[in-house]
Amino acid sequence: MKQLNRKTLLSIAVLAATVTCALAPAQATPDPAAGPVVLDWTPPALAQLSSEAAVKSSFTLDRNMLGVATALMPDSDAETRQAISKIDGVSVHSLRFGAAGIADEASVDSIRQAYHLRGWKHLVTTDTANKGPLQNGTTDVWLVLDGANVRGAVVLAETAKSLTLVTVSGNLSPVDLMHLRGHFGIPSFNGSDFKDAKDK
């Protein structure tokens, strides 16, 4: 099995600690989405942004499709294969805009607010070290917590000219979530600097 490097281990430790600290308030707050995470639900503001995008693509992978993809992965990616086996589905929406970029930033904020209203735990991670193209240097991550595990997650990555929204449904651990970065449209967000959104 491939050994995790120190940076990945640090990312996992930081995310695990952040999720653990979030458990008490998250359990005390009723979750309006108490059932399985619905892959085909998106905030209404996404439809408005989609109508303004120059290029857009959306797809959903169910458990069977993910199983096929897992079988094609090399044995050296054992940790990623294990994480994928715990996913029930992944839904990806990718929007690319013209030279003017995203015209209505308020619509992006409306997406964030929609997940806030669902009562999901909101984390952000910065990318100041790599100084990548992410808008404001952050990626938004929402978690649906079930005890110590992550029952579902949403990742929102915004650049000046693109927007990617990914919904993951399954029964994952924080470790699994880290291994899924860079696969099936899930952005390769920085996992070593997670913080509560209200503290950013």
79 domain-assigned: yes
The H or E element containing residue 100 is none
pLDDT in tens, the chain (200 residues): 444 454 443 343 334 444 444 433 433 333 444 566 888 899 999 999 999 999 999 999 999 999 888 888 887 788 888 899 999 999 999 999 998 888 888 999 999 999 989 888 888 876 544 444 455 556 888 988 877 778 899 999 888 889 999 999 998 887 888 888 888 878 777 666 666 666 55
143 domain-assigned: yes
- Domain boundaries, position 59: 6-199
pLDDT digits (tens, 9 = 90+) for 109-159: 999 999 989 888 888 876 544 444 455 556 888 988 877 778 899 999 888
Quote the CA–CA distance of 155 and 50 in Å, as a whole number.
17
Residue 38, token pair as written in the block = 């619905």
Query: Number of folded domains in the chain?
Result: 1
33 domain-assigned: yes
1 domain-assigned: no
Cβ(106)–Cβ(154) under 8 Å? no
Predicted TM-score of the model (pTM): 0.75
**C-alpha closest to that of 16 among 148, 170, 159, 153:** 148
46 domain-assigned: yes
Quote the CA–CA distance of 46 and 52 in Å, as a whole number.
10
